[in-house]
Structure formats: structure tokens, C-alpha cells
Structure 1
Amino acid sequence: MTTAALREQVGELLGRPVTDEEDLLAAGLDSIRLMVLAERWESEGADVSFVTLLENPTVAAWARLVGN
């Protein structure tokens, strides 16, 4: 999955565009939506979990985790 695709998925959940380095928790991403992303990406084969996403909540960090 590309960084652009991750950014788009997160932006859709937040209802606005996001940047790669933006703290997504501070931007309003709540635990429910974070769980949705973790489950979606795990089902697509990424080695991520809710906790790993929570540890560094930026698109850039998540792109490294899902194998961009």
C-alpha cells in the first residue's frame, strides 16, 4: 500500500485531508476509527495492530509499518 493510499484512507475517516507527519490523534482520530484501520490493514496482510498504530500516529510511520 502506498503512502498516498494510506493518507487517503485516513483522510476519509477524518473527513479532511491529512499530512504525512500530522499527529492523527491530535487531529481527531479516535480509538474506534484507529481499530477500523488496524483491522482493515491486518486483513490485507499487514503486520500491524491497534497498539503499533497508536505508538506513532502518523501516516509516515504507518506507511513504514505496512510495507510501503
Structure 2
Amino acid sequence: MALTLDLIRADVADALGEDPADIPVDENLLDYGLDSVRIMALLGRWRRDHDVRADFADLAERPSVESWSALLGVVS
């Protein structure tokens, strides 16, 4: 399965124990409880499953689903 905006959103929701519908795509995920440990876990999963080449600093600078989607080259 390819990495998509919806999959990023679902993975973030899973990491936070939330429903994907409750995770906005354009807001700062730190405000929803995402922390550095969870970002590293998500990045590790995406590297393993989707050959993502981004690093932690890239994701931490712009912590939103929409920003990550663009950064990771996801096509809507």
C-alpha cells in the first residue's frame, strides 16, 4: 500500500489513540499530543513500510498531516 494523506492521518490518529476523523490535516499535531517519541515511531514505520527518506527534523519543523504529505511526496 502506498503512503497517502489518509494513511498518514490514520497512522497519526493510531499513535494518539484517536479517531482519524478527529485529526485535522492542517493543524499543528503537537497541539493534539503528538510528541517527539511518537514522531520517531511514525517515521520508523514509514521508513520501513514506505521507503520514506525524510528525517526527524523535517517532520518536527512542520508537524501537520498536510505538511508531512507534501514533504513525503504524497500525491493527493
Partners of 2:7 and 2:51 in 1: CA distance: 15
Question: What corresponds to 1:67 in structure 2?
Answer: 73
The unaligned stretches of length 5 or more in structure 1 are none
* TM-score where L is the length of structure 1: 0.90
User: Which of 34, 50, 63 is 1:57 aligned to?
Assistant: 63
Matched positions, count: 68
Greater radius of gyration (CA): 2
For the pair 1:32 / 2:37, whether they are aligned, the reply is yes
Partners of 1:12 and 1:40 in 2: CA distance: 12
The answer to which structure has the higher helix fraction is: 2
| Contact 1:41–1:66 (8 Å) recurs in 2 | no
CA root-mean-square deviation: 1.0
Q: For structure 1, which segment, 7-16 or 41-50, has the greater mean C-alpha deviation from structure 2 after superposition?
A: 41-50
The unaligned stretches of length 5 or more in structure 2 are none
> Runs of 4 or more off by more than 3 Å in structure 1?
none
Question: What corresponds to 1:12 in structure 2?
Answer: 14
Identity, % of aligned pairs?
Answer: 37
Q: CA deviation at 1:42?
A: 2.0
Deviations 1:10-66 (A, max 9, x none): 011111130101211111001111100111222221121111100000000101122
**1:4 is matched by which residue type in structure 2?**
D
